Amino acid sequence: MIFNKSRLMLLFIAFFTFACNKSSNNTSITTATTTDDSVVIEVNPTHFLTAGLTESITQISQKLADGSTVMCYKIVSNNIPTDHTQGPWCPTNINDGIDKGGIWFEGGKLYDVDGPFIKNLATFYSNTTWKLYNTTTGAINVTDTKAACEAAARPNVDPMYKNYCVQCLPSYFPGIKKTYYIPVKPVKSKNTIAIMGMGGVVGIAFNGINFDPPAPTQAILGAYTLAPFDDAGGHVNGATGYHYHAATGKSTKIKQSDAHAAMIGYAMDGYGLFENLDESGKESTGLDASRGHYDSKRGYHYHVANAGSNSFINSFRGVPGKFSVTL
């Protein structure tokens, strides 16, 4: 979500509060069988990788804006994925192979951002203004300092950095801490709840990295810049550090015993997030408008959209918890 945050947001602590569940029990299964909520699966804190946390997961009782006293899991992440490497994002020469760059979304598809892809952008987007490289040396224009990253990764891109491949390295923004409060047990909302675009968070991967709403790719392209994602579907900004815009199978996942799609994390409302495809490569059917459905083993749960779609789920079926970032 690089381009919808200004530099001022480096000093901002994002804090989004919603209702959480009143349950205070650990993971369990309800066994009634009359409705699509007859089986409700609680969040399992043991799924999270301890190496990605700054403290042990705890249950916290809180009084929220609606006046209710509730129990949520408090999960504090150090924002460093320990199950895969971060980057690369931008290749440095038009002859570089796919191992030197990341990926890009366009039209629901994933593309490798290698040197030839950068060279071909004018044809790819049918616009001769695109020229991110030196035609003599083949060197690609890359934001390779923190100052360049901050100047390019903002809504009003500094004119100096138009026609650049934009990357912000995790090392530019050390010490980021993310705190999630997720309902111990999901609570269905009376109406689906929209996922906020700017600053909103969809959920959390088991490695502690946040799943974000769609990246503003049109704003990125409008400045004739490209802000690739790494092969795990993540990139960095100064407001929230490293975060995901796609699920590509690189982060920790939990295989299901019945060949169902693997679990990859939790949405902020406590319902499970599962991969798009099952073990046979088939997409789940019968999904509702939020991209979720019910079965008796997993209760209600979501299936994320395909990696090229620049999205995970469409809305929350349950009442989300809250999320904050400390820089």
Counting every residue, how long is the chain? 327
Which residue ranges make up each domain of the chain?
A: 1-327
Give dist(CA 153, CA 143) in Å, integer: 10
Measured CA angle at 86 (ends 80, 89), to 5 deg: 140
Alpha-carbon distance of 227 to 303, in angstroms, equals 26
Enumerate the β-bridge partners of residue 322: 181
Written as one letter, the residue type at 137 is T
Q: Is the dihedral of CA 135, 136, 139, 145 positive or negative?
A: negative
**Cα–Cα dist 137/114, whole Å:** 16
Location of structure tokens 């409302």: 269
Report strand pairing: 177-183 vs 69-77.
antiparallel
User: Looking at residue 197, what is its pLDDT?
Assistant: 60
Round the CA-based radius of gyration of the chain to a whole number and report it: 20
Query: pTM above 0.75?
Result: yes
Are 39 and 297 in contact by the 8 Å Cβ rule? The answer is yes
- Give residues with Cβ within 8 angstroms of 201, minimum separation 6: 16, 180, 210, 211, 212, 213, 268, 323
- C-alpha distances out from residue 5 to 101, 160, 222, 263, Å: 24, 18, 16, 30
Q: Residue 55 and residue 75: Cα distance in Å, rounded? A: 8
Q: How far is CA 45 from CA 185, 205, 206, 307, in A?
A: 12, 12, 9, 26
Q: Is the bond preceding residue 91 a cis peptide, omega within 30 degrees?
A: no
CB 88 within 8 A of CB 37: no
Residue type, 23: S
Q: Digits of tens for pLDDT over the chain (327 positions)? A: 443 433 333 333 333 334 454 433 333 223 233 357 899 999 999 999 999 999 999 999 875 444 556 789 999 999 999 999 999 999 999 999 999 999 999 999 999 999 999 999 999 999 999 999 999 999 999 999 999 999 998 878 899 999 999 999 999 999 999 999 999 999 888 889 888 765 689 999 999 999 999 988 887 899 999 999 999 999 999 889 999 999 999 999 999 999 999 999 999 999 999 999 999 999 999 999 999 999 999 999 999 999 999 999 999 999 888 899 998
CB 273 within 8 A of CB 267: yes
Q: Are 323 and 180 in contact, with CB atoms under 8 Å apart?
A: yes
Output the pLDDT for position 199: 61
